[in-house]
Structures are given as C-alpha cells and as structure tokens.
Amino acid sequence: MSDWPLFLQVDEHPRSGEMNMALDEAALDAAADGQGCFVRLYRWNAPTISLGHFQKEAQLDVPPELADLPRVRRLSGGGAILHDRELTYSFTLPRSHPLADDPTLLYVAMHDVLIAELSKIGVTARLRGEKPESTSTPPPEEAFLCFLREDPRDIVIDLGAEQAKSQSVKIVGSAQRRRRGAVLQHGSILLWASEFSREVPGILNLFEVSEQQVATAVQSAVEKFAGNCSERGEFGFPKEFISL
C-alpha cells in the first residue's frame, strides 16, 4: 500500500480538548485533500467531556459529577466520552485507500491489532460481537457516557468465569466521521477508572500490569496499524498541524 504517504505522531505531552479535536479535524481535512494517512496517539491535559457530533447539549441529562468538567464537540458520533485516565488514538485515511470503504472493516482492523498487542502483556480482551450478553443490570441504550453503552465493535474484558462470560466491561470504544470521502476514526483506551466515573473500570483496575506496559502495547498496536496502512511514512505531523 505504498501509494499513500503516512504521518505518525505520538504526542509527548497531553493537550487540551480543543487542541486534540482541532488536530483530528486538520488531519481529516488533509486526508480529504489527498495528502496521505495520518495516525496519532495522544492524551488529555485535564478531565474533559467530548460530546458526539449529533448529541444536542440542551437535551442531555448530564450527571452532576460531570457537569462542571470542560466540554468539547467531537467530529464523530456516539455518546459522550469522559477523557481522563486514558490513551486516545486517531487516524484518517483518504477516499482512495482500500480500508476507507468499509466502516466495519476499519473498526475491526484497528481493534484486532489492539487485542493482539494487549494479549502479549497478559490482558485478555475480545470484540463484543453481535450476540446479546447476559448481564444482571444491562445499561440503558442511551446512557450519557459512551462507555456505558454497548456496540458490537467494542473491545471488552470478560469478568467472572471464562465459560460463563457473565459480565463484560468495555475498555476501548471507537467512532468514525467521513468528510469528502475521507474517514476519521478515533478511540479511547481506558487505563484507570476516573474519579468522576468510578463505575467504568480501566485495564489497570482489572489486570496486574503496569501503566508503562499498557502504553507500550498500545503504541505498538498503533504503529503496526499505521504500517498496515502504508509502507512509506515519516514520524511526526506537518508543522502547520502542530502550530494550530
């Protein structure tokens, strides 16, 4: 797949919600202009709520513990996400890229490589899949937070007996947006439960691994996915992106 130049950015420092969303949008516009594939791994410098593109803020029933947190609007759809103790990836592909054609294929391509890399450090996860799961207290379909909703493309960890799969928790959720044929996909990988949403555990609440191990596994997954998108690339985004 050498026809698409690749730009890979692993942010050294956390950024504000506004900057993170601006960089995602700049990458989507650049992909729509045919400039190549853009892949980024980043963090947030403060607990922030991102609202899905189609969520109407005036109609939202925001939990009191989240009401005072800063908010930004994502390009992608879905429910609100509390970005706190997590890693976030994003990538954009131009219209001409073969992976841009099928939304489901794109989710699976990224999530499969994340699952594979996490398994190397002893974190056993899977795609949720289409089959309804038996849970004692199913979350409402329209819960405010995305991580309390269910989607077959989620990455989940099973709790309890492996055979029973009595309950699973979502540790990775992703969403997409298309513009002029180009596609943006970004996703949150939960490291720890946030103090603002303790009912949503992260990987490190469930497995005896270090944060550095998880971060290394996630970065390896992002880099492998990037390598699957294009054979020729360079490290770092164009300077005009970073100076937004």
pLDDT at 203: 98
Catalytically annotated residue among 146, 155, 157, 200: 146
pLDDT at 142: 73
Query: How many Cβ atoms are within 10 Å of 179's Cβ, its own excluded?
Result: 15
CATH class of the region 6-242: alpha beta
Residues 33-78: pLDDT tens digits? 999 999 999 999 999 999 998 887 766 888 899 999 999 999 998 8
The answer to which of 203-207, 227-231, 240-244 has the lowest mean pLDDT is 240-244
How confident is residue 244, by pLDDT bands cut at 50, 70 and 90?
Answer: very low
Asked whether the whole model's pTM tops 0.75, one would answer yes
Whether residue 243 has pLDDT greater than 50 = no
pLDDT at 61: 82
DSSP per-residue string spanning the chain: -TTS-EEEEE-SS-B-HHHHHHHHHHHHHHHHTT--EEEEEE-BSS-EEEE-TT--GGG----GGGTTS-EEE-SS-SSBEEESSEEEEEEEE-TTSGGGS-HHHHHHHHHHHHHHHHHTTT---EE--SSPP--SSPPPTT-SBGGGS--TT-EEEEES-TTTT-EEEEEEEEEEEEETTEEEEEEEEE-S-BTTBTTS--HHHHSS--HHHHHHHHHHHHHHHHHHH-SSEEES--HHHHT-
Q: How far apart are CA 127 and CA 151, in angstroms?
A: 9
Helix axes 103-119, 211-229, angle to 10 degrees: 140
Quote the mean pLDDT of the chain.
87
Residue 229 annotated to the active site: no
